[in-house]
């Protein structure tokens, strides 16, 4: 209660008590003064009514009205499932906007198809239960036992379930229909086994609830995929199958170890033992008995989870799927931008080399390189959706150039170029070639550094610009890269210089001297003896 209200309450109580005392005394005196008993009783009644009204008003203002206001302010807790569903819808809307930026037609179609599937899942009325585990652990036998009919080869060798087989069932006590998916086994050998495991993991990430089947104690290779699924928010039940093969004491020991291994990853109550396909037994009379599967504990646990947490599991799954789809779209866009930016850097590094080689000076002209880098920064920023002014880009380029000088990378670039070119070129073009190739190398380091800057939302990261530049220098000084880089340098820098030098210093060949051609005059008619006669 606020101080002002408390003071008002104390004053009000004191006033009411004073009025009550005064009224009692006044009523007594008035009753004695009025000779008519009727009038005296009427006055006393009116005074009592007035006093009751005052007390009621006091109680309403200080007690009932505040409590009613608090009840009005107390909002009902939001529905968690609805909140997650709305978040999933927002993610899908963002994915649609991102898909429009993807140039790869195949990738774009795949993302659109997956987004439509998630939208359908938003409206679906089924729980998706995925049976997951190692090969031949008894997954198909468990599916058979759950749906009550043979749907797959029981006791088959590893690798039989090559694709996710899907079945429908209805569990008593669960309102929605349950879709069961039997996945291929994980940890199988060979390329085909790896492909099947990839499919199994993808199906598991799309599940509302996962049943992780084991046939023995949990190995580290099995724990890792279980932990990975848990980390992305998947609810899992760990099932120890073939429990009928153990004596009770050994079974309890294995269950205890399992619960200890998965503590913090899976709830202890979500570790159960079953016998999905007990072996047949022969009686003394020679008849064969086929025991019923012992999966009651698992069914009870599935029903309990779906009844108490089913709606949230559905919402969680939809939200996870939409988030993963958004991450995939962002990854594709980032790869696309990275390729475009690298092509841009490749173009600008040879532009810088041409500028330096065309205007040779005793050392590499870092200011000219910075000018080239500034325009490169503007265009890289445009690829990543960032509009950078040329002045800001020039400041960034000069700052990075200072870093290159301070870290000794400029000197290192010249040494690399000199060492690589000392055999290939000689004479007058050697200096110009070294300067041009060094400029291209520095422009490449600068460009790739700026790519990292824009990929990290215009941030150099915790290590700052120094760490980014050093990382790019180390990546671009490897032997395999230097070899390819110098091959391009010979084509783009050295050969043009050689042709230019040849054209400048070699004299033009003399044209062949030929006598001028004269037109043959017509010959005069020769005189004959007959003419003289």
CA distance 108 to 90: 19
Tally of CB atoms within 10 A around 193:
17
Would you state the pLDDT for residue 130?
93
CA distance 352 to 368: 8
Given a cut of 50, the residues of the chain with pLDDT beneath it are 1, 69-80, 154-160, 362-364, 510-521, 523-533
Give, as one character, the DSSP assignment of residue 492. Answer: I
Which of 29, 44, 72 is the last residue before a domain boundary?
Answer: 72
Q: Specify whether 141 is located in the same domain as 253.
A: yes
Would you state the pLDDT for residue 33?
63
Q: Specify whether 242 is located in the same domain as 150.
A: yes
Alpha helices (runs of H) in 456-494, residue ranges in sequence order? 464-475, 479-489
Q: List, in order, residues 6 or more apart from 80 with CB less than 8 Å away.
A: 312, 315
DSSP letters spanning 229-248: HHHTT--EEEEE--GGGS-H
What CATH number did the domain enclosing 142 receive?
A: 3.40.50.300
Domain membership of residue 309 (yes or no) is no
Domain membership of residue 77 (yes or no) is no
Would you state the pLDDT for residue 448?
93
Q: List, in order, residues 6 or more apart from 196 with CB less than 8 Å away.
A: 159, 161, 162, 184, 185, 188
Q: Specify whether 380 is located in the same domain as 474.
A: yes
Would you state the pLDDT for residue 211?
94
Domain membership of residue 115 (yes or no) is no
Would you state the pLDDT for residue 519?
47
pTM of the model: 0.63
Domain membership of residue 210 (yes or no) is yes
Would you state the pLDDT for residue 76?
44
Distances in Å between the alpha carbon of 315 and those of 46, 228, 229, 241? 65, 20, 16, 30
The pair of structure tokens assigned to 1 is 């209660």
Backbone φ and ψ of 71, nearest 5°: -65, -35
Task: For the chain, state the CA radius of gyration.
Answer: 44
Q: Specify whether 346 is located in the same domain as 451.
A: yes
Would you state the pLDDT for residue 31?
62
Task: Let me know the angle formed at the C-alpha of 15 by 11 and 20, rounded to the nearest 5 degrees.
Answer: 150
pLDDT for 294-313, tens place per residue?
A: 999 999 999 999 999 888 88
Domain membership of residue 308 (yes or no) is no
Q: Specify whether 343 is located in the same domain as 200.
A: no
* CB contact at 8 A, 232 and 205: yes
Q: Specify whether 347 is located in the same domain as 496.
A: yes
Q: Specify whether 359 is located in the same domain as 234.
A: no
The per-type count for the chain, helices as H runs and strands as E runs, is 18, 8
Would you state the pLDDT for residue 37?
64
- Rounded to the nearest 5 percent, the helix, strand and coil shares of the chain are 65, 10, 25
Would you state the pLDDT for residue 509?
53
Residue indicated by tokens 């000088």: 405
CA distance 238 to 268: 9
Domain membership of residue 38 (yes or no) is yes
CA distance 114 to 111: 5
Would you state the pLDDT for residue 372?
83
CA distance 447 to 440: 10
Would you state the pLDDT for residue 426?
57
Q: Specify whether 371 is located in the same domain as 282.
A: no
Q: Specify whether 261 is located in the same domain as 169.
A: yes
Would you state the pLDDT for residue 382?
93
Domain membership of residue 523 (yes or no) is no
Domain membership of residue 114 (yes or no) is no
Which of 29, 54, 72 is the last residue before a domain boundary?
Answer: 72
Question: Which residue range forms the structural domain that includes residue 426?
Answer: 333-505
Q: Specify whether 394 is located in the same domain as 254.
A: no
Which of 72, 91, 113 is the last residue before a domain boundary?
Answer: 72
Closest CA to 470 of 443, 444, 440, 449: 449
pLDDT for 217-229, tens place per residue?
A: 888 888 899 999 9
Say how many residues make up the chain. Answer: 533
The pair of structure tokens assigned to 37 is 């008993």
Q: Specify whether 217 is located in the same domain as 343.
A: no
Would you state the pLDDT for residue 322?
83
Distance of CA 497 to the CA centre of its chain: 48
The pair of structure tokens assigned to 190 is 């060979």
Q: Specify whether 134 is located in the same domain as 227.
A: yes
Domain count within the chain:
3
Distances in Å between the alpha carbon of 233 and those of 117, 213, 252? 20, 19, 29
Q: Which helix (H) or strand (E) holds 211?
A: strand 209-214
Would you state the pLDDT for residue 70?
47
């Amino acid at each position: 209660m606020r101080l002002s209200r408390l003071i008002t309450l104390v004053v009000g109580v004191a006033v009411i008590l004073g009025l009550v005392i005064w009224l009692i005394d006044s009523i007594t005196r008035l009753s004695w003064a009025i000779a008519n008993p009727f009038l005296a009783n009427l006055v006393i009644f009116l005074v009592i009514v007035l006093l009751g009204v005052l007390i009621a008003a006091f109680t309403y203002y200080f007690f009932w009205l505040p409590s009613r206001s608090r009840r009005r302010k107390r909002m009902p807790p939001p529905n968690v499932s609805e909140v997650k569903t709305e978040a999933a819808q927002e993610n899908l809307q963002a994915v649609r906007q991102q898909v429009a930026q993807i140039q790869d037609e195949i990738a774009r179609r795949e993302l659109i198809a997956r987004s439509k599937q998630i939208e359908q899942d938003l409206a679906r009325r089924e729980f998706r239960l995925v049976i997951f585990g190692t090969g031949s652990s008894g997954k198909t036998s468990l599916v058979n036992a759950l749906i009550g009919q043979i749907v797959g080869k029981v006791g088959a060798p590893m690798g039989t379930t090559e694709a996710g087989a899907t079945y429908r069932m209805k569990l008593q006590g669960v309102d929605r229909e349950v879709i069961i998916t039997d996945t291929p086994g994980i940890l199988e050998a060979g390329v085909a086994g790896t492909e099947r495991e990839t499919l199994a993991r993808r199906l598991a990430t799309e599940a509302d609830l996962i049943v992780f089947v084991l046939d023995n104690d949990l190995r580290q290779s099995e724990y890792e995929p279980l932990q990975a699924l848990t980390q992305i928010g998947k609810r899992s039940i760990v099932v120890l199958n073939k429990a009928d093969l153990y004596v009770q004491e050994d079974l309890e020991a294995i269950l205890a170890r399992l619960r200890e291994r998965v503590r913090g990853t899976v709830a202890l109550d979500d570790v159960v033992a079953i016998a999905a396909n007990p072996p047949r037994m022969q009686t003394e009379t020679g008849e064969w008995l086929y025991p019923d599967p012992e999966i009651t504990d698992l069914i009870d646990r599935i029903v309990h989870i779906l009844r108490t947490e089913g709606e949230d599991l559905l919402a969680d799954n939809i939200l996870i799927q939409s988030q993963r789809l958004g991450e995939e779209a962002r990854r594709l866009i980032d790869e696309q931008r990275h390729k475009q930016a690298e092509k841009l850097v490749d173009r600008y590094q040879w532009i810088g080399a041409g500028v330096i080689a065309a205007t040779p000076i005793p050392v590499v002209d870092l200011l000219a390189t910075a000018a080239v880098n500034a325009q490169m920064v503007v265009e890289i920023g445009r690829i990543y959706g960032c509009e950078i002014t040329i002045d800001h880009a020039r400041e960034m380029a000069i700052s990075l150039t200072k870093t290159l000088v301070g870290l000794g990378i400029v000197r290192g670039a010249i040494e690399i170029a000199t060492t690589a070119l000392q055999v290939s070129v000689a004479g007058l073009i050697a200096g110009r070639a070294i300067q041009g190739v060094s400029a291209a190398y520095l422009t490449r380091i600068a460009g790739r550094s700026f790519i990292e800057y824009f990929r990290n939302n215009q941030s150099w990261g915790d290590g700052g610009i120094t760490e980014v530049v050093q990382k790019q220098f180390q990546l671009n000084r490897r032997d395999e890269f230097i070899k390819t880089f110098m091959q391009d340098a010979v084509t783009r820098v050295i050969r043009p210089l050689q042709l230019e030098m040849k054209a400048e210093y070699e004299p033009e060949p003399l044209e062949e001297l030929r006598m001028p051609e004269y037109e043959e005059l017509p010959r005069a008619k020769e005189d004959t003896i007959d003419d003289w006669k």
